[in-house]
């Protein structure tokens, strides 16, 4: 794009009592929502940094570092727009890497189909509607642990490091621990201390640009990205970057982001809480 195709503005937020001021540059013309992911990544990184600062101020230290890929053997929940970003990223790779990555995705899907993991996951999501929050989380943890125990790495994991680190999913950016790194090789709820972020953009990102194809899916396991993108061709609507950003912040803050000169309204307090696996 040319310079005139972009618009730059400032965003001011208060997160956990700490001010956050960011300058963002977004497309001035209508675009598909997954074109906004670099901006959402930038914002997520800023939110995570504030949470990390709060954790470190309490005396704890993040133990995650390059070369520690234990967490890259978990089912990463993707938003719909991330599905198509990953599919496009893979298609843009040169051969033979493109075919190698596609084969890794395919092998992972076949393996988890063979142990009925996807069915168990879907059942777990159904149970979440009737169980208490604690009971639902226990069921979720069991399903995640079963996935982890299979030892199947993310298709992008190479030499225990993420080969697409700048473009990695938002959920990956949010996952950080303060417990000893060696505990991640055999995780339990007691041995792994995942930091509690002040803001979790992944919870809101899955509703940005969401189409009718995925109304019944709270989140999409990353290994299904290529298969789903192939099965359901992308049909996102287009909006200007400013509007996509406003949609994202509306979901993040639970307040309507108005057009210029229109006063915002708070969202109803009885809005049902959304759950995800």
Judge whether 276 lies within some domain: no
Interatomic CA distance for residues 98 and 89, integer angstroms: 9
Q: Which domain holds residue 189?
A: 3-253
**pLDDT above 70: residue 39:** yes
Report pLDDT for 80.
Answer: 93
Q: Is residue 266 over pLDDT 70?
A: no
State the residue for tokens 């300058």.
23
What integer is the mean pLDDT of 59-66? 88
User: What pLDDT, on a 0 to 100 scale, did the predictor assign at position 66?
Assistant: 80
Highest mean pLDDT among 124-128, 129-133, 175-179, 187-191: 175-179
User: The pTM is what?
Assistant: 0.85
pLDDT at position 260: 45
Residue 271 lies in a domain: no
Return the SS3 of 13.
strand
Does residue 30 or residue 124 have the better pLDDT?
Answer: 30
| pLDDT tens track for 202-245 | 988 988 988 866 655 667 999 999 999 999 999 999 999 999 99
In a domain, residue 264? The reply is no
Of 201, 145, 213, which is closest to residue 171 (Cα–Cα)? Answer: 201
User: Residue 269's pLDDT band (boundaries 50, 70, 90)?
Assistant: very low
Is 77 contained in some domain?
yes
Q: What is the pLDDT of residue 127?
A: 80
Task: Please state the rounded mean pLDDT for residues 8-12.
Answer: 86
Decide if pLDDT at 177 tops 60: yes
pLDDT given at position 216 = 59
Residue 67: inside a domain: yes
Residue 265 pLDDT > 50: no
Flag whether 260 is in a domain: no
Asked if pLDDT for residue 93 goes beyond 50, the answer is yes
Residue 209 forms part of a structural domain = yes
Pairing of strands 18-27, 6-15: antiparallel
Give Cα separations from 133 to 45, 152, 155, 274 (angstroms). Answer: 28, 28, 32, 12
- Calculate the alpha carbon distances from 93 to 97, 101, 102, 117, 190 in Å: 6, 9, 10, 29, 40
Domain assignment of residue 241, yes or no: yes
Q: What's the domain count of the chain?
A: 1
């Amino acid at each position: 794009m040319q310079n005139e195709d972009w618009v730059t503005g400032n965003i001011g937020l208060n997160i956990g009592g700490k001010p956050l001021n960011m300058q963002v540059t977004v497309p001035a013309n209508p675009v598909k929502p997954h074109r906004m992911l670099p901006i959402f990544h930038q914002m997520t990184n800023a939110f995570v940094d504030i949470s990390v600062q709060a954790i470190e101020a309490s005396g704890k230290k993040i133990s995650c570092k390059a070369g520690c890929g234990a967490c890259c053997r978990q089912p990463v929940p993707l938003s719909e727009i991330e599905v198509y970003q990953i599919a496009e990223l893979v298609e843009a790779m040169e051969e033979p890497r493109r075919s190698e990555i596609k084969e890794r995705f395919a092998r992972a899907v076949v393996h988890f189909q063979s142990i009925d993991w996807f069915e168990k996951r879907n059942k777990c999501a159904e149970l979440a509607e009737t169980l208490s929050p604690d009971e639902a989380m226990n069921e979720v943890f069991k399903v995640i642990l079963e996935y982890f125990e299979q030892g199947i790495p993310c298709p992008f994991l190479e030499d225990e490091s993420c080969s697409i680190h700048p473009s990695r999913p938002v959920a990956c950016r949010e996952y950080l621990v303060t417990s000893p790194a060696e505990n991640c090789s055999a995780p339990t709820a007691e041995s792994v201390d995942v930091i509690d972020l002040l803001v979790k953009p992944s919870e809101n990102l899955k509703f940005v640009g969401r189409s009718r194809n995925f109304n019944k899916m709270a989140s999409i396991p990353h290994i299904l990205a290529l298969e789903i993108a192939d099965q359901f061709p992308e049909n996102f609507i287009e909006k200007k970057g400013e509007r996509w950003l406003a949609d994202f912040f509306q979901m993040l803050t639970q307040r309507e982001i108005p057009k210029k000169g229109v006063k915002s309204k708070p969202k109803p307090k009885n809005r049902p809480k959304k759950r995800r696996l």
